[in-house]
Amino acid sequence: MRRHNQNTEIGGALVGFQKGDSLTITHASDPGPKAIMQNNWIKIDEQYTTDYCNYLNKVSNNSLYYLGDWHTHLSSNLLPSPTDYKAVQALSSYLPEDIRFSLITVIFNHFSPQNFKVYNYTQKRILKEVNCKII
C-alpha cells in the first residue's frame, strides 16, 4: 500500500491455505498494471492477479491458492459498500461450489492500514465480519 501515494482505493488478490475452519493468508498481490483505481472503487487487473495466484499455486505444489481479495477505503468506514458486494458476488461465481463460501475480503483504512476488517462471503450471500489475528 505504501507504494501507492495517490488518493484512490488500492487492492489485490490474497493467496494462502485453509486448515479446518481457519484461513491463513501468506501472500497478497498489488492491483496490477491494468488496474483502474478511483477514490471510491477499484477494478483489479484480473489477468495479472490470476497469473499471480496461479504461479503461487504451481510453485507451492497446489498447497497455496486464491482466498479472496483486499482493498482500501479512503475513510474510517470499513463496512462493505454496495460495490464490494457486487465484486464478491461476481468473484464467487467463478469458484467451485465447495469453496465458494470460504471467499474472504479484507478492507483496510487507506490512511491507517493497521485498521482493517475481514469479511467472509457466506452461504446467505452476505459479507459477515470474522475474527482474525496477525501472526
Segments making up each domain of the chain, as ranges: 11-130
Length of the chain: 135
- pTM score, whole prediction: 0.92
Closest to 49 in 3D by CA, of 64, 63, 28? 28
Which CATH superfamily includes the segment(s) 11-130? Cytidine Deaminase, domain 2 (3.40.140.10)
108-121 exposure pattern, b = at least 16 Cβ within 10 A, e = fewer: bbbeeeeebbbbbb
Q: For residue 17, is it left (φ>0), alpha (ψ between -120 and 50) or beta? A: beta
Residue pLDDT tens, the chain, 135 long: 666 667 899 999 999 999 988 999 999 999 999 999 988 889 999 999 999 999 999 999 999 999 999 999 999 999 999 999 999 999 898 888 878 888 999 999 998 989 999 999 999 999 999 999 888
